[in-house]
Structure 1
C-alpha cells in the first residue's frame, strides 16, 4: 500500500517506519502523502492505542529530500503553495491524531525531521541524536513546522535556532522541551516501551479529550471564559459511557471496558 514506509503492529501499538534509509529518510512528495495516509489509517483503527513514528537505518529523518527541494525551487509561487499545503496537512494529521503519538529519534532529525518529532505528542531520542531547523542555510524558513516546534520549545529558543540553523544535541532538545526522554541508542525500544505502558492504560476517549483540552486552554488567560470552557469540558466528559464505566470499575475494583 505504501511506497516509502511500512506499518508494524504489535498488540495495541502501531509503528510507522519511514523506509528511505538510503537518503536518511528525507521526505519528498511521496513520503508526505504516505505519512498522511498512514496517520489517517491508524487514527481510524480503534485497535491501535499508541502510534510510534520511526525511521529505518542510522537516521530518523534528514528533512527535505534535496531533489524535492530542487524541483520546488523551480515552482511558481502558486505551485509552491500547493506543495507546502500538502506538507502542512500531513503534519496536522500527525499532530491531530486522537491517540498518543511518540517519535523514535536516532541520528539526524533535521529541518522537517525536527518538525516531525515536534508534531508528535512525545519524543524519545538516542543520546547521539542531533536536531536543527536548518532552513535558513538554504535561504528558506521553517514555516510549516513552526507551529509544532514553537509549541515544543517556545519563541525564545526558536528565535535563536530558526535564525542560526545550528545543530543542537539530544540533551539540549530535552532541556528545551522538544524531547521527552534521552537514552542510549540500544535502549530506544525499551525506553519507548516504558513510556507506552501507562499510555495503554488510559481511557482512549479521555486521552483524545485531554489533547483537545490542552489545545483549547494553552495560551489563554485564566478568566471567566476559560473557567467556563473547562467546566463545560469536564461536564461533557463525565457524562460519557467511558467515564461512567471507568469510575465504576475503580470503585468495584475491576478492569475497565477499554482494557478488555
Structure 2
C-alpha cells in the first residue's frame, strides 16, 4: 500500500507571493495524524517565509473538501494518551493557522464535516460553492466537536455552532454557512470559485505585507488562551473516543 493511501499527500506551490497548499487523502480528504502534523509544520514554515504574503489552503480533487479526522486513526486509539495525542493534532493545526503571520484564504470546493468545518473556520477568509454543505456529526459517533468548537463559535457564533452540533445528522447548506459567516463568498461552481479566488488573492498579495500581518493579529485578538484551551478539549475527545458507543458507531460508519 502506497504512502499516499496511508498518510495522504501535501503539496505547496509558491508563485507571485502566494503559497498554495493542497492536502489530500483517498478517504474523502480526511486527516490521519501524520497529515495533520505535516500541514501544521507547513503552515509554521510559511509563516516565516518572506517570499509568501498570502496562503491558499485547498484540498485535492473536486469532491469533498474535508471529512475531518481519520476513522482508522479513531479506531486505532487504545488509551487516553493516544486519543489526546490524535485530537491534539487538530489543536496544533488550528493554533498554527491563527498564529500564522500570513492571511489564509480557504478554497472550500465541496462538503466539510467535523474537523473539516474547523479548518474552514480557521481560515481568515473562505470561498465556497453551492455544494459546500457543512455538518458537525461528532455527537452521532459518541464524541463532540470540542477541539474545533472555539474556532467555529468565533466564526459563526455559539448559537449557530450549537444548532449544527445538536443536529448531528443534518447538513447545513452553503447558503446557511455564508449567512452565518463561515463562508465569505459562495460561487455557483468550482470554475467561478477559482476565478474569484485568483482575483482576490492577487489583490491581497499586492497590499503592504506589514499591514496584512498586523491585520491578522487583529482578526485573532482574544484567542491567546487557545494555546491551552484546545489541548484541554483534546483530552475530553481523547477519553470519549475510547467509549463502546464510539467504537461501535465508527464500525457502523465504516460499513
Per the shorter chain, which TM-score range? Answer: 0.7 to 0.9
Alignment correspondent of 2:66: 61
Gaps of 5+ in 1: 219-260
Task: Name the CA distance, whole Å, in 2 between partners of 1:158 and 1:87.
Answer: 18
Question: Aligned residue for 1:87?
Answer: 90
Q: Give the match for residue 182 of structure 2.
A: 178
1:108 corresponds to 2:94? no
User: Residue 70 in 1 paired to residue 75 in 2?
Assistant: yes
SS at match of 1:186: helix
User: Which of 188, 194, 197 in structure 2 is aligned with 1:189?
Assistant: 194
Supply the distance in 2 between the matched residues of 1:198 and 1:51 (Cα, whole angstroms). Answer: 13
- Which one has the largest radius of gyration? 1
* Superposed structure 1 runs of 4+ greater than 6 Å apart: none
Q: TM-score, normalised by structure 2?
A: 0.79
Residues 128 and 185, structure 1, Cα contact 8 Å, conserved in 2? no
1:159 aligns with 2:162: yes
1:98-137 maps to which residues of 2 (within 5 A)? 98-137=101-140
- Count of residue pairs the alignment pairs up: 214
Distance of 2:8 and 2:164 partners within structure 1: 33
Partner residue in 2 for 1:210? 215
Deviations 1:153-197 (A, max 9, x none): 001111211111221111111000000111122212111112213
Q: Once the 2 structures are TM-superposed, how far is the Cα of residue 43 of structure 1 from its aligned partner?
A: 1.0
CA RMSD of aligned residues (A): 1.7
Q: CA deviation at 1:87?
A: 2.2
How far apart are 1:3 and its partner, in Å?
A: 5.9
TM-score by length of 1: 0.78
Deviates more, 1:123-132 or 1:189-198: 189-198
Kindly tell me: are residues 217 and 139 of structure 1, through their superposed partners in 2, closer, same or farther at Cα, counting changes over 3 Å?
A: closer
What are structure 2's unaligned runs of at least 5 residues? 1-6, 224-255
Distance 2:214 2:222 in 1: 12
